[in-house]
Amino acid sequence: MRFLLALFALFLISSCKSPEARYPVSQNSGSYINESIELNKEMIAQEEDYIKQVMGENPDTEYLNSENGFWYYYNNKSTDSLNTETPEFGDVVVFDYSISTIEGEPIYAEGERPTREYAIDKEKLFTGLRQGLKLMKEGETVTFLFPSHKAFGYYGDQNKIGRNAPISAKVTLHEIKEEPNNEINNQE
d(CA 104, CA 83): 30
- Which of 136, 34, 150, 36 is closest to 102 using CA atoms? 150
d(CA 61, CA 172): 18
- Give pLDDT, residue 154: 87
**Where are the alpha helices (H) located in 17-162, listed in sequence order?**
31-56, 127-133
Domain 35-187 CATH class label: alpha beta
Statement: the pTM of the whole predicted model exceeds 0.85? no
**Where are the alpha helices (H) located in the chain, listed in sequence order?**
2-15, 31-56, 127-133, 180-187
**Stretch 116-124: mean pLDDT:** 93
Q: For 14-55, how does the pLDDT look when each residue is reduced to its tens digit (9 = 90+)? A: 665 666 677 666 656 667 888 888 999 999 999 999 999 999
Q: How confident is the model at residue 122 (pLDDT cuts 50, 70, 90)?
A: very high
Q: How confident is the model at residue 181 (pLDDT cuts 50, 70, 90)?
A: low
Residue-averaged pLDDT of the chain: 87
- Give pLDDT, residue 188: 44
Q: For 90-110, how does the pLDDT look when each residue is reduced to its tens digit (9 = 90+)? A: 999 999 999 999 999 999 999
d(CA 16, CA 64): 74
- Antiparallel, parallel or unpaired: β 64-65 and 71-76: antiparallel
pLDDT above 50: residue 184: no
Taking the domains of the chain in order of start, what are their residue ranges? 35-187
**Stretch 52-64: mean pLDDT:** 94
- Give pLDDT, residue 182: 52
What is the SS3 assignment for 72?
A: strand
| Residue 61 DSSP code | S
